[in-house]
Structure 1
Amino acid sequence: MDPSLRRYAVFYFFYYAALGAYTPYIGRWVDALGHGGFVVGGMLGLWYGTRIVAPPAWAALTGRSARPGEWFFAGCVATLLCFAGFLFTHQAWALLAVMAAFGLFYNAVMPQFEAMTLTALGPRPELYGRLRVWGSIGFLFVAGSYGALMDRVGDAWFPWLVLPLFAGMVAAAWPHRGDRPPEAAPGVADAGHLFKRPGVRRFLLVALLMQVGFGPFYVFYTLHLQAAGHSGAAIGALWAIGVLIEIAMFWQAPRLITRFGAGPLLMACLGVTVLRWALVAAFAESFTLMALAQATHALSFATFHACCMRLISDYFPGRRAAAGQSLLYGFSSGVGGVLGAGLAALAWESAGGGPLAFALGALVTALAWGVYALRRPVPAA
Structure 2
Amino acid sequence: MTPAVFRRYALFYLGYYGTLGAYTPYIGRWVASLGYGGYVVGAMLALWYGSRIFGPPLWSRLTSRSAVPGRWLVIGCLLAALGFSLFAGVANRGPMFAVMAWFGLCFNSVMPQFEAMTLSALGSRSDEYGRIRVWGSIGFLVVAGSYGWLLDRLGEAMFVWLTLPWLLLTIAAAWLHRRDGADSITVAPTTPLDDNQLDSAPVLQRPGMARLLATTLLMQLGFGPFYVFYTLHLQAQGHDGIAVGVLWAVGVLCEIIMFWQAPALVRRFGAQRLIGACLAVTALRWWLVAMAGGSLGWMALAQTSHALSFAVFHAACMRRMAELFPQRRHMVTAQGLLSAISGGTGGVLGAGLAAVAWQHGGGNLAFSAGAIAALAGLSLHLATAARAKALPAS
TM-score (norm 2): 0.94
Give the structure 2 partner of residue 287 of structure 1.
296
1:213 maps to which residue? 222
| Separation of aligned partners in 2, 1:308 and 1:364 | 18
User: How far apart, CA to CA, are the structure 1 residues paired with 2:338 and 2:349?
Assistant: 15
Distance in 2 of aligned mates of 1:167 and 1:153? 21
Kindly, what percent of the aligned residue pairs are identical? 58
Q: 1:36-47, aligned counterparts within 5 Å?
A: 36-47=37-48
Q: Please state how far the C-alpha of 1:193 moved relative to its aligned partner.
A: 2.1
State the one-letter code of the partner of 2:371.
A
Structure 2 equivalent of residue 137 of structure 1: 138
| 8 A contact 2:208–2:324 mirrored in 1 | no
Deviations along 1:309-365, one digit per CA (max 9) or x if unpaired, are: 111122234132111110100000000000000000001111x11100000000011
In 1, the alpha carbon distance for the partners of 2:269 and 2:90 equals 49
Q: Which amino acid aligns with 1:114?
A: E
Cα drift, residue 258 of structure 1:
0.4
**In the alignment, what sits opposite 2:49?**
48
| Equivalent residue runs for 1:102-113 within 5 Å | 102-113=103-114
The equivalent of 2:393 in structure 1 is: 380
Task: Describe how 1:92-241 pairs up with structure 2 within 5 A.
Answer: 92-181=93-182, 182-184=185-187, 190=197, 191-241=200-250
After superposing the two structures, state which structure 1 stretch, 290-299 or 199-208, moved more.
199-208
- Structure 1 match to 2:77: 76
Residue number in structure 1 paired with 2:64: 63
- Worse-superposed segment, 122-131 or 362-371: 122-131
CA deviations on 1:201-250 (whole Å, 9 max, x unpaired) are: 11110000000000000000000000000000000000000000000000
Q: Cα deviations across residues 18-53 of structure 1 (Å, max 9, x unaligned)? A: 100000001000000101111100000000000000
Which one of 350, 365, 380 corresponds to residue 356 of structure 1? Answer: 365
Cα distance in structure 2, aligned partners of 1:133 and 1:42: 30
Provide the secondary structure at the position in 1 that maps to 2:124.
Answer: coil
- TM-score with structure 1 setting the length: 0.97
The one-letter code matched in structure 1 to 2:258 is: M
CA-to-aligned-CA distance 1:113-132 (integer Å, 9 cap, x gap): 00111111112111110000
Question: What is the CA distance between 1:183 and its match in structure 2?
Answer: 3.7
Distance 2:314 2:29 in 1: 26
Asked if structure 2 preserves the Cα contact closer than 8 Å seen for 1:194 and 1:315, the reply is no
Instruction: Give, in whole Å, the separation in 2 of the partners of 1:184 and 1:153.
Output: 49
2: CA distance, partners of 1:11 / 1:224: 31
Q: Displacement, 1:282?
A: 0.4
TM superposition shift of 1:88: 0.2
- The Cα shift of 1:165 comes to 1.1
Measure, in 2, the Cα distance between the counterparts of 1:64 and 1:231.
49
Partner residue of 1:314 out of 323, 330, 342: 323
2:336 to 303, 306, 326: 326
CA distance in 1 between counterparts of 2:352 and 2:64 reads 33
Secondary structure at the aligned position of 1:374 is classed as helix
Structure 1 unaligned runs (5+)? Answer: none
Distance in 2 separating the partners of 1:194 and 1:334: 17
Give 1:24's aligned amino acid.
P
**Per-residue Cα deviation, 1:280-324 (whole angstroms, up to 9, x for no partner):** 000000000000000000000000000111111222341321111
How far apart in 1 are the matches of 2:186 and 2:56? 20
Counterpart residue number, 1:245: 254
**CA displacement at 1:64 relative to structure 2:** 0.7
